[in-house]
Amino acid sequence: MVEAGLADGVIGRAIEHGLLDVQVHDLRAYTTDRHRSVDDLPYGGGPGMVMKPEPLARAVEEIRTRRGIPDAIVLLSPQGRRFTQAEAVRMSVLRHVALLCGRYEGMDDRVRALVAAEELSIGDYVLSGGELAALVVVDAISRLVPGVVADSRSVEEDSFSRGLLDYPHYTRPSEFCGYAVPDVLLSGHHEEVRLWRKKTAIRRTLERRPELLDTAALDDEERAMLDEIRKEREREQ
Ligand code: JA5
């Protein structure tokens, strides 16, 4: 599942070009018993199974031996602090990140303590394992590695890179099922287009995710636009 998730698109190409190196480790390879067990019954009883600590600890030990000490060891779990764009930026400058994925009810908690893993969550919902969360983390970090996204202007303009939601995008045809593309985008006035996009991004952020404006680093122009939008909305009430 992890290998399939990394094979295509921007990330797949970056791996092919040697910009990224992602190694997937199958925990069953680090078992010693005949049944290659990676889980066992929970102490204290209750439903489900728990990941045994030894295969995980051995896997991390082999990573350290083969590839050197990771700059970060991250356990994906709903108990972690939230993985945000700021976390992605922080991790994108690290050379070596190890991501640990649980299954079943989770890992024996001593593994996290032993390998001193940080715990990160990609959101407040339940997943069957950490792998999809790890793929999300790999994708978000990788886009920030120079050269992975061909046109770096895309990365700079992305939603959240400036702490705001994105402006709406359109392509041909200029009318589709009775919906027209906003005139300004067809006008050829670059400065008007720039101002419209900026203002629309701010308006959408105010309407959909107002809490983002508390932490967004707005420049003078953006703050003036926000004031203008708030006044427009007051007039509409
Ligand atoms: C479930 C055994 O942030 C969303 C997440 C859900 C979830 C994660 S991260 N890890 C696991 C897991 O389940 O290891």
pLDDT tens, position by position, for the chain (237 residues)?
999 999 999 999 999 999 999 999 999 999 999 999 999 999 999 999 999 999 999 999 999 999 999 999 999 999 999 999 999 999 999 999 999 999 999 999 999 999 989 999 999 999 999 999 999 999 999 999 999 999 999 998 887 878 999 999 999 999 999 999 999 999 999 999 999 999 999 999 999 999 999 999 999 999 999 999 999 999 998
Of 137, 55, 65, 124, which is closest to residue 94 (Cα–Cα)?
137
pTM value? 0.96
Same domain membership, residue 37 and residue 86: yes
Is 42 a catalytic site residue? no
Is 105 a catalytic site residue? yes
Token pair for residue 144?
């920030």
Ligand 1 atom with least separation from CA of 106: 2
Assigned domain for 222 exists: yes
> The domain spanning residue 214 has which CATH number?
1.10.1270.20
Total domains in the chain come to 2
User: End of a domain among 142, 166, 199?
Assistant: 142
Same domain membership, residue 136 and residue 193: no
Same domain membership, residue 136 and residue 184: no
Cβ–ligand 1 distance for 5 under 6 Å, the answer no
Same domain membership, residue 32 and residue 138: yes
Assigned domain for 149 exists: no
Assigned domain for 151 exists: no
Cβ–ligand 1 distance for 76 under 6 Å, the answer yes
Same domain membership, residue 195 and residue 84: no
Which residue range forms the structural domain that includes residue 181? 175-236
Q: Helix 190-208 crosses helix 220-236 at what angle (to 10 degrees)?
A: 60
Same domain membership, residue 52 and residue 136: yes
User: End of a domain among 125, 142, 159?
Assistant: 142
> The domain spanning residue 62 has which CATH number?
3.40.1280.10
Among protein residues, the one with the nearest Cα to ligand 1's atom 8 is 77
Pairing of strands 97-101, 72-82: parallel
Amino acid identity, position 76: L
User: End of a domain among 101, 127, 142?
Assistant: 142
Same domain membership, residue 181 and residue 110: no
